[in-house]
Amino acid sequence: MTSNNTSPLIPLPASTARVVTLTGAVLALAGTFLPWTWTSAFPGDLTVTGYPGGLQVLTLVGAVLTLLFTLSGWGSPRSSEAGSGGRIRGLAWLTPGGTNSPVRLAALGVFGVTGYAIGAISYELGGLVNLELGGWIAGGGALLAVIGALALPADQPHDDDTDAWGRFRNAFSAPDPARAKDLPAWAEILIITAAFGIGLWIFAYGIATEYSELFIGFVVLAAFGFAAVLRAGLLKRLSALTAKHRNVTLTAAFAAAICFPFTQTNDQFALIGANILIFATVALGLNVVVGLAGLLDLGYVAFLGVGAYAAALVSGSPQSTIGVHFPFWAAVLTGVAASLVFGVLIGAPTLRLRGDYLAIVTLGFGEIFRITVNSLNGTSGPDVTNGSNGIPNIPDLELFGFNFGLPHDVLGFQLTRPGNYYLLMLLFTAVVVMVFRRSAESRIGRAWVAIREDETAATAMGINGFRLKLLAFALGAGLAGLAGSVQAHVSYSITPEQYQFAGSVPPNSAFLLAAVILGGMGTISGPLIGAALLYLIPAKLQFMAEWQLLLFGIALMLLMRFRPEGLVADRRKQLEFHETGQTDVPDDATLPEGATGVAKAGA
């Protein structure tokens, strides 16, 4: 039997717990304006008084977020403090879903990034003796904030008989946010624009982190901060607004993405952004095959390689065995056409298989491609691909006299080579997003989803399963070839080792498939987010290359345990992986007029 039990993990009065949390957050914030160490040998120069730097900035941001969430829930009826003078109305909009679970997650984020900074200082400088007063104040404040946050009552009622793990899990869960009052259209558009502006700032800051300690702290705070915002119900509110203003959302997203190269002053960071878009575009193409049609393709990276090799052979490279130089549009179309043809040739004899058998065949195709291009070296076979040497010295693209390899001044900003290719790849990504969106919403897209859910039932309803699966396979291959044709010119050279099933450097088939699953199958933004994370983290943490696959496997297991539908889930996945209460009798408030008696009679 379920009771309205919201007992906290640490027994303290709710008002006292909130005061403790506020005090800890204020101390952590104040500690960032004091020195954390006496020497500038630690990256970020944490010796300055009155000016936070490096990891101190992350602690400052987390402390501010904790303060805002704590003040937002003060006096809320859901926080068991209804009699404390009323909720602070000016901040009530921050927590439409839950008032206390966001505080816990934000406090844990502050504690995580501050604790990591203290540990890194001790490890690199030789002990806690190198920690100054500011570090002790910030660390003590972060610990105090966590203790106070864990003493707050749970937002979600739980069973009296729930075990310790269940109580801990419920402490970080929150009910669905209440429906917000409609705002003026201009205000909703302003909120969407501000949200994408904040997202651009966070993404640009993460890429521009100059040393690994700062990036690890950024990842810790971003993970807990994202979870806190999610539990607060802000993302659901934002999703409702973006669904209402879809065209405005796409325009804002595209405008924010265009601004990215102008925020980077280092060519290396801008190049990471260009490669992320290449990886994300290929992942979105794989999402057509896996996410919509439900075909498990383990050799998808081979289509990226086919497009890259086809574009490289006609690029005018001195090492190209063909010796031709196609213009930009012709080279791109050559890469797309070659991948499309290979998709049809491979899919026609293999797509009559299902499940594990299809996965094994596609895995074999990926390995056959790599071995074949490695053998076409003039010794083991015809001299086409130069074997293991690949095709180097691929010239830069040129379109209407615009050379992508040269810097250009745009509105007072200088766009370097990585920025030029980033904007080009952004244009291609927009095309791929449009193709995916139109396909998913079309009659063919609905047929793909029907095949994914139950191919036998779909065939019984008159859907030609083989033809539609072949169409999905060919479309996904063509989109991969589009990205491959640009990748060949961005990287200057291509080799067979770049296109493996698994490896330490993406893109490869395993990472592409993981990007789709991590982000959310069948969605547009899911694979883009998943690909960005899976490319950015290895690129910034190269010192962990030996442990990368181990950490990658642990992350996938945790994801499957706590969020199997992915970071961005569609409604079908939410219904599949979570209890929805579809069999419960609806409340009177949710029924149309005159239907209350019928529902009660049915119950």
Q: What is the average pLDDT across 22-35?
A: 93
Cβ atoms of residues 289 and 300 within 8 Å:
yes
Domain range holding 539? Answer: 264-391+412-577
pLDDT at 349 over 90: no
Tokens of 182: 């409609």
Residue 134 shares a structural domain with residue 273: no
Residue 171 shares a structural domain with residue 299: no
Q: Which residues lie closer than 8 Å to 470 by C-beta, 6 or more apart?
A: 344, 347, 348, 351
Question: Is position 595 within any domain?
Answer: no
Question: Is position 47 within any domain?
Answer: yes
Question: Is position 183 within any domain?
Answer: yes
R_g of the chain computed on alpha carbons = 27
SS3 315: strand
Residue 238 shares a structural domain with residue 385: no
Cβ atoms of residues 422 and 528 within 8 Å:
no
pLDDT band at 453 (very low <50, low <70, confident <90, very high): confident
Question: Is position 119 within any domain?
Answer: yes
pLDDT tens digits along 73-97: 775 554 444 444 444 555 677 777 7
Residue 291 shares a structural domain with residue 229: no
Per-residue pLDDT at 57: 93
Question: Is position 250 within any domain?
Answer: no
Per-residue pLDDT at 8: 59
Q: How far apart are CA 162 and CA 154, in angstroms?
A: 13
Q: What average pLDDT is seen over the chain?
A: 80
Other CB atoms within a 10 A radius of the CB of residue 150 amount to: 21
Q: Which residues lie closer than 8 Å to 150 by C-beta, 6 or more apart?
A: 8, 9, 10, 104, 171
182-196, 292-306, 432-446, 582-596: least confidently modelled range = 582-596
Tokens of 371: 């071995």
63-72, 230-239, 499-508: least confidently modelled range = 499-508
pLDDT at 603 over 70: no
Residue 288 shares a structural domain with residue 319: yes
Residue 281 shares a structural domain with residue 427: yes
Long-range CB contacts for residues 253-258, cutoff 8 Å, separation at least 24 = 253/196, 254/426, 254/430, 255/196, 256/196, 256/197, 256/199, 256/200, 257/200, 257/426, 258/423, 258/426
pLDDT at 345 over 80: yes
Question: Is position 134 within any domain?
Answer: yes
Percentage of the chain modeled with pLDDT above 90: 12
Would you say the pTM of this structure is higher than 0.85?
no
Residue 234 shares a structural domain with residue 279: no
Q: What is the average pLDDT across 217-241?
A: 88
Cβ atoms of residues 373 and 385 within 8 Å:
yes
Q: Vertex 218, ends 212 and 221: CA angle to 5°? A: 145
CA distances from 172 to 68, 234, 545, 560, 569 (A): 17, 15, 32, 18, 19
Question: Is position 2 within any domain?
Answer: no
Per-residue pLDDT at 145: 92
Buried b (16+ CB within 10 A) or exposed e, 278-311: bbbbbbbbbbbbbbbbbbbbbbbbbbbbbbbbbb
SS3 376: coil
Question: Is position 568 within any domain?
Answer: yes
pLDDT at 165 over 60: no
Residue 236 shares a structural domain with residue 289: no
Q: What is the average pLDDT across 62-68?
A: 92
Helix (H) or strand (E) holding 366: helix 355-375
Is omega for the bond preceding 77 within 30 degrees of 0, making it cis?
Answer: no
Per-residue pLDDT at 466: 85
Cβ atoms of residues 295 and 358 within 8 Å:
yes
pLDDT at 68 over 50: yes
53-67, 98-112, 350-364, 494-508: least confidently modelled range = 494-508
Count how many domains the chain has.
2
Q: How far apart are CA 433 and CA 103, in angstroms?
A: 36
Residue 422 shares a structural domain with residue 325: yes
pLDDT band at 596 (very low <50, low <70, confident <90, very high): very low
Per-residue pLDDT at 571: 66
Q: What is the average pLDDT across 489-517?
A: 80
Q: What is the average pLDDT across 114-121?
A: 93
Q: Which residue's entry shows tokens 């291009």?
A: 373
Q: What is the average pLDDT across 523-534?
A: 84
pLDDT at 6 over 60: no
pLDDT at 150 over 80: yes
Helix (H) or strand (E) holding 596: helix 596-602
Per-residue pLDDT at 374: 87
CATH number for the domain including 435?
1.10.3470
Residue 310 shares a structural domain with residue 349: yes
Q: How far apart are CA 167 and CA 9, in angstroms?
A: 8
Residue 497 shares a structural domain with residue 557: yes
Per-residue pLDDT at 154: 72
pLDDT tens digits along 542-557: 777 677 777 777 877 8
SS3 45: coil
Residue 231 shares a structural domain with residue 276: no
Q: Vertex 87, ends 86 and 91: CA angle to 5°? A: 155
75-84, 316-325, 410-419, 435-444: least confidently modelled range = 75-84
Percentage of the chain modeled with pLDDT above 70: 84
